[in-house]
Amino acid sequence: MESEQVRGSVDQGDVTRANSLARSVFSDIADKWSLLVVNVLGDRTLRFTELHRSIEGVSHKMLTQTLRRLERNGLVERTVHPVVPPQVDYRLTEAGRDLRDTVNGLCGWARRHLDVIEEARRLHG
Amino acid sequence: MESEQVRGSVDQGDVTRANSLARSVFSDIADKWSLLVVNVLGDRTLRFTELHRSIEGVSHKMLTQTLRRLERNGLVERTVHPVVPPQVDYRLTEAGRDLRDTVNGLCGWARRHLDVIEEARRLHG
DNA sequence: CCGTATCCTCTCTGATACTG
DNA sequence: CAGTATCAGAGAGGATACGG
């Protein structure tokens, strides 16, 4: 992606690094659950169970995996409170909140093109 | 997503429809290959083989499947020229180009947060 | 409450070979 | 060139049970 920039004034090595990284990040966040988690979290701080309830259809396992991946990419911050029963809070980092704005754009896009999509599905479905 | 809007002035049924549709669209486009195809196509019109060459690592089969799905959702237009050898052109629809702008936002996001992501990966990797 | 591990199923993916 | 069909292996995802 952004292949035009290769010919631009940006440092070549930097661009290559950006491309491959962006690509691997895409692989990590471009899935349904990650996007939904980012959206649901928003500006709030939620516990594991609250997230689980908020995202319909996600399994315990998938939610855990998704949260670990998001944490690994610096999008989500995980806070463990040493109490019994255990309490763990999740919230978006700054990068995560920035991503959420972009994801909101995606939602806006879906809303704007509802009709086109539905018609296309009727035609080709 | 957009759950705040449920309490807003928008028609309730419309919101529900938008949410479930957005969700099913997400499932269809929120994958690596779809996003890459949308990005590579941009404003151009490309043939199957050109796309295949442009997107490193995609198999013949996956590219076909991805293009079918994108067509099914009204993001890509497929034009078959009745010549021998066959020639098939792919280009983004208006909805597709609109999506590409959003996806570009995603690329921009990745570029902006390169350092944060890399550091998070070092820490948690 | 939160997380991990195991098992089992089912889909996805790539390789290959074949049609128009 | 563009697309379909088939097959086998890999991997994702769900259910369940158990540990901190």
DSSP-assigned letter for residue B78: E
| pLDDT per residue as tens digits for the range B79-115 | 999 999 999 999 999 999 999 998 888 888 988 998 8
Is there a contact between A121 and B39 if contact means CB atoms under 8 Å apart?
Answer: no
- C-alpha B80 chain-centroid distance: 22
B13: burial class by Cβ within 10 Å (0-12, 13-18, 19+)?
Answer: exposed
Please provide the size of chain B in residues.
125
| pLDDT per residue as tens digits for the range B5-63 | 333 344 555 555 556 666 777 777 888 889 889 989 999 999 999 999 999 889 999 99
pLDDT for A16 equals 56
Q: Å between B15 CA and C13 C1'? A: 36
Q: Is B88 in CB contact (< 8 Å) with chain A?
A: no
Q: Is A21 in CB contact (< 8 Å) with chain B?
A: yes
> How many whole angstroms separate alpha carbon B102 and alpha carbon A107?
10
- The alpha-carbon gap from B104 to the nearest alpha carbon of chain A, in Å, equals 8
Is there a contact between A73 and B120 if contact means CB atoms under 8 Å apart?
Answer: yes
Write out the DSSP string of B32-59: HHHHHHHHHHTT--EEHHHHHHHSTT--
Domain boundaries, chain A: 11-123
Q: How far is residue A46 from each of residues A68, A89, B5, B40, measured CA to CA in Å?
A: 15, 6, 20, 37
- In the predicted model, residues of chain A with pLDDT beneath 50 are 1-10
Contact between B45 and B107 under an 8 Å Cβ cutoff? The reply is no
Residues in a beta bridge with A88: A80
Correct CATH for A11-123 of 1.20.1070.10, 1.10.3720.10, 1.10.10.10, 2.60.120.10: 1.10.10.10
